[in-house]
Amino acid sequence: MSSSPITQVSQQAPMQTSLQPQLLTRLLLDLRGRRFSVDRETIMNLPESVLLCLFPNGLVLSRQSAAFSDGGEAEEDEEVYAVDFDPDCFAYVLDFFRNASEAFYGTGTNPGLFAAQQHLLDGSPSDFGPAASQNPLLTKQAIIVLREELEYFAIPPKDSEAATDEHGIANEPLLEIKRQCGANIMEKRNIFTALQRNVHKENNVAEQHLIDMLCMSGFDREDEWGFRAIEPSRCCISSIALVLLKTGIIHHPASQNGDRPVTVDYNQMATAQKLLLFWRKPAVSSPSLLN
């Protein structure tokens, strides 16, 4: 018997199919007072590290009150999911993924990069392994996602009026010190500064190798965070950076007859494939593939 509870219901009690959860085509999200209407496919294309922040208790893609619904479209818009996530960060991620998708897969008026590299899928097995069609770097747009959650602590000077009451609540002078500390850290926007400092201090070869690999695959050593903000009511700074993975597939400018030559740097593609080994480690690096 299938392990799916929906399948089990349909097999055992076909007359009660109306009680099956209705899959949502769009989700209405309320991010700290700002609402987003996002279709299901867009949500599912987001990287795991972002989804875990949006839905720490799991992602719900079906209407919770489906058993009492007549299936009207208007009812779907009434279900609002409250999400404790920075709305500006979410908008930044959505914009990046939308632009990347349109550039790779194209739009109704402009063909994307995927159409120009279709012939690579017909290459010989020796070019890209046993089956070129199974190489995700040839069929999907890869995006590297880096996230950082930096908690900081403020220690006021001894002669300062900054203090906490008997309940541990900070007074205004202490709050001001925390705000100044946060503002100072916010100015440090370079992605690899902290990692590189650890490398120099502890000679961490693994972290140096990670930095080198990321810089060969799309980032630059002087890159800054694409989004960086202080979390409300917390001494914590959240940062995120997105970049298209350098797959080794090079699209040259269109020729006079309109053709767009495509060549492959096999060494670069091998590096990109190595980076995909970090797929299951979103705390460090999270490559995401657009479907």
Choose from 22-26, 54-58, 219-223 the range with maximum mean pLDDT: 219-223
| pLDDT given for residue 53 in this prediction | 87
Q: Which band of pLDDT confidence, cut at 50, 70 and 90, is reported for residue 21?
A: low
pLDDT exceeds cutoff 80 at 1 = no
Q: Which of 60-69, 72-81, 178-187, 270-279 has the lowest mean pLDDT?
A: 60-69
Q: Residue 279 in contact with residue 130, Cβ under 8 Å?
A: no
pTM: 0.78
What pLDDT does 93 receive?
96
Q: What is the pLDDT of residues 130-181, one digit of tens each?
A: 456 667 888 888 899 999 999 999 999 988 999 999 998 999 999 999 999 9
pLDDT digits (tens, 9 = 90+) for 27-43: 899 999 999 999 988 99
CB proximity list for 29: less than 8 A, separation 6 or greater: 35, 36, 37, 38, 54, 80, 81, 83, 90
**Position 70 confidence tier, pLDDT thresholds 50, 70, 90:** very low
CB contact at 8 A, 280 and 253: no
The mean pLDDT of 111-125, rounded to a whole number, is 76
Instruction: Tell me which architecture the domain covering 23-60+79-109 has in CATH.
Output: 2-Layer Sandwich (3.30)
CA–CA separation, 135 vs 144, rounded Å?
17
Domain boundaries, the chain: 23-60+79-109, 143-244
